[in-house]
Amino acid sequence: MMNQGMTVQTTEKVLKEAEKVIIGQGDFLRSLLVCLFSGGHALIEGVPGLAKTLSVRVLSRIMDVPFRRIQFTPDMMPSDITGTNMYDLKSQTFHLKKGPIFTGFLLADEINRTPPKTQAALLEAMEEARVSIDGTDYELEQPFMVFATQNPIEYEGTYPLPEAQLDRFLMKLVVDYPSQEDEKILLRQIHGGFNARDFGNIQIGRLIDGEIIRECQKEIASITVEESILSYITAITQATRQSPHLLLGGSPRASVALLLSGKTLAAMEGRDFVIPDDIKSLALPVLRHRVMVAPESEIEGVKADQVIGGILDQVKIPR
């Protein structure tokens, strides 16, 4: 029998433990949990040094989920991600050498440092939770979530992700610098002996497991969504397709992502129904990577976030 309020209890427990180590990134951590409980993947953008990698490692420890990290480089091959069949001379047979994608939480670090062919190796795994190696399909364990980090596209030596792959990410999260006060707290931690490189000795508890995550997902599936909320979601995505500032609007997958993440956010906040503010607060991270600014607007300095923000101001909120 499903425990009522399991999602909100789990959220509070995880965030409280994570914030012992991750300072000033509460909203970012909460968004990662929305992605996880929604069964999605997260694209994380920010300059180096903002605790993106540490955040994922901390969550994997708290949730007791296996963690692997891939550092993407320009010379990386798809088999470096998925694995390959190796020939054993002694037994004269092939055996599978699994790649790092066979894990629970996969951190794809600086994914836009590697060419599109290797980026595309993640597509099947992200969409189908399985990989194909030499014609054989291999299921990935659950929960499985890709956390892909990238430097801002303006940085040299980066390859923008193709639209087909961008659409596989439930959210694109932009991590900003901490406030001055939060940065001072971080410095006090470092001064007191905290060392992120010595992760094995960081005092973080293993508080939940895969079974609890599945319980939360069952609870989220039962969240009520009124017809007016469905109309609000589709009005937003339709407006992105009609905006003169956008060359590419949100696809039906964008509407589905808003629905699923809206149900998750409602459950995380202790409600059994979705409200318009759930959808409005999620629109930027869900849509910003799914739309493409028209070249003439881009020349004028228009950004995707600005266009989406304008659409949210114009679309009527259901009462």
- 24-34 pLDDT tens trace: 899 999 999 99
Q: Parallel, antiparallel, or unpaired for β 292-293 and 246-248?
A: antiparallel
Write out the H or E segment, with its range, that includes residue 302: none
Taking only the tens place, the pLDDT of each residue in 160-194 is: 787 878 889 999 999 989 899 999 999 998 898 88
Instruction: Report the C-alpha gap between 300 and 308 in whole angstroms.
Output: 16
For 263, other C-beta atoms within 10 Å of its C-beta total 27
Q: Is the same domain home to 244 and 277?
A: yes
Q: What is the pLDDT of residue 2?
A: 42
Q: Is the same domain home to 173 and 231?
A: no
Instruction: Report the C-alpha gap between 21 and 194 in whole angstroms.
Output: 9
Closest to 128 (Cα-Cα) out of 118, 139, 120, 142: 139
Query: Does the pLDDT value for residue 205 go beyond 70?
Result: yes
Q: What is the mean pLDDT of residues 77-100?
A: 85
Q: Is the same domain home to 288 and 156?
A: no
Q: Which residue has the tokens 């639209």?
A: 163
Taking only the tens place, the pLDDT of each residue in 289-315 is: 999 999 999 999 999 999 999 999 999
For 5, other C-beta atoms within 10 Å of its C-beta total 12
Q: Is the same domain home to 83 and 189?
A: yes
Buried/exposed code over 98-131 (b: 16+ C-beta within 10 A; e: otherwise):
ebbbbbbbbbbbbbbbbeeebbebbebbbeeeeb
Q: Is the same domain home to 2 and 30?
A: yes
Taking only the tens place, the pLDDT of each residue in 118-159 is: 887 787 788 888 888 888 888 998 899 999 998 775 556 667
Q: What is the pTM of this model?
A: 0.90
Q: Is the same domain home to 70 and 191?
A: yes
Task: State the residue range of the domain holding 310.
Answer: 223-319
CATH at residue 58: 3.40.50.300
Q: Is the same domain home to 205 and 290?
A: no
Q: What is the pLDDT of residue 187?
A: 92
Contacts 24+ apart (CB under 8 A), 85-89: 85/133, 85/134
Instruction: Report the C-alpha gap between 53 and 114 in whole angstroms.
Output: 18
For 207, other C-beta atoms within 10 Å of its C-beta total 16
Q: Is the same domain home to 127 and 108?
A: yes
Percent of the chain predicted with pLDDT > 90: 61
For 145, other C-beta atoms within 10 Å of its C-beta total 25
Q: Which of 168, 200, 217 is the last residue of a domain?
A: 217
Looking at the chain, the number of H-run helices and the number of E-run strands are: 14, 11
* Helical segments of 222-274, H only: 227-242, 252-268
Q: Is the same domain home to 146 and 280?
A: no
Q: Which of 184, 202, 217 is the last residue of a domain?
A: 217
End-to-end CA distance of the chain: 34
Q: Which residue has the tokens 């300059």?
A: 47
Q: Is the same domain home to 196 and 116?
A: yes
Q: Is the same domain home to 125 and 205?
A: yes
Banded pLDDT at 220 (limits 50, 70, 90): very high
The residues that bridge with 136 in the sheet, in sequence order, are 133
Q: Domains in the chain: how many in total?
A: 2
Beta strands in the chain (DSSP E): 42-45, 67-71, 83-88, 93-98, 105-109, 130-133, 136-139, 145-150, 171-174, 246-248, 292-293
CATH at residue 298: 1.10.8.80
Q: Which of 156, 187, 217 is the last residue of a domain?
A: 217
Q: Which residue has the tokens 């990662």?
A: 32
Query: Does the pLDDT value for residue 55 go beyond 50?
Result: yes
Q: Is the same domain home to 115 and 246?
A: no
Contact 275, 263 (CB under 8 A): no
Taking only the tens place, the pLDDT of each residue in 239-282 is: 999 999 999 999 999 999 999 999 999 999 999 999 999 999 99
Instruction: Report the C-alpha gap between 46 and 68 in whole angstroms.
Output: 20
